[in-house]
Amino acid sequence: MGQYKANSTNSKSFSLTIENTKIGELNYTKWYSFKAEIQLADNSNYQLEPKGFWDSKIELKKAEKTLLEFKMGWKGILITTNFNESKKKYLLKLKGLLSNRFILIDAEENEILTVDTDFKWSKLNFDYTIETSTELDNMENKELMLLTILHCINYYLTIIVAAA
């Protein structure tokens, strides 16, 4: 099982690390934007772009190819990956109604990841602690998936704050 940390350097940038080794960044174009860029440690770049009415769906793209998409659903955020032309579905949801913990479950309802959110009042942003299962650790493109999940959680928190 992997233990990752995601720290916000400001309200627009998040750095993902494992054992103090940086594996990627999530950078937003502007504060509270759904448009973002992922840069992995190997310097490969990916774009997260909102689509649909009221930006209801977000797509992860490498050039023009869509690798992943997610949208808000009644039970949480529905994630569909399309890595190597193989589609898989996941659900990211809060562990409990008033929880600060998110979980990712696969189509068989196996819990494959937990994310604890930690709001930093001094910085007015979140830091995250991510714990992965062996299934996620063995996933191809796991770093890309982890950074996209950070974006999903930020998306969720932004939608909830806007609705309040």
Q: CB of 79 within 8 A of CB of 90?
A: yes
For residue range 8-21, list pLDDT tens digits in order. Answer: 877 789 999 999 99
Q: CB of 20 within 8 A of CB of 4?
A: no
What is the SS3 assignment for 24? strand
3-163: CATH topology: Porin (2.40.160)
Nearest to 110 by CA among 130, 94, 133: 133
Question: pLDDT band at 124, cuts 50/70/90?
Answer: low
Helix ranges, 10-141 (H) = 134-137
Domain ranges of the chain: 3-163
Q: CB of 151 within 8 A of CB of 164?
A: no
- How many residues appear in the chain? 164
For residue range 42-90, list pLDDT tens digits in order. Answer: 999 999 999 876 667 999 999 889 999 999 888 999 999 998 888 999 9
Burial of 26 (0-12, 13-18, 19+ CB in 10 A): buried
